[in-house]
Amino acid sequence: MIQALSFSFLRGRRVTIEVRQRINILTRTVITVSAVIFGLGICLAILVSRGVDVSSIYDEFIVFTFLNASGIGTVIVQST
């Protein structure tokens, strides 16, 4: 016969999660920047493997988004 699980042992206990690692700001920054670069590299590899030219990727994402007034306006409006 199958019995239902009893969670009565959890009632008297308290579960706490503590952060014990202290990572300095330089290490945290390096990890974050590395993760962003790695993610962009994966995205670039996927787009190139599907036949998208690297120059058109540069034009679309860098030039149009950040160096064009309407592109910057679109980014600001969508981020708010």
**Spatial distance between the Cα atoms of 54 and 46, rounded to a whole number of angstroms:** 11
pLDDT at 3: 54
Domain ranges of the chain: 25-79
pLDDT at 2: 53
pLDDT at 5: 60
Q: Give the residue from 59, 36, 58, 62 showing the smallest Cα distance to 72.
A: 62
pLDDT at 77: 86
The answer to whether 76 touches 68, Cβ cutoff 8 Å, is: no
Q: What is the pLDDT along the chain (80 residues), one digit of tens a residue?
A: 455 565 666 666 677 777 777 889 999 999 999 999 999 999 999 999 999 998 888 888 888 877 878 887 887 888 87
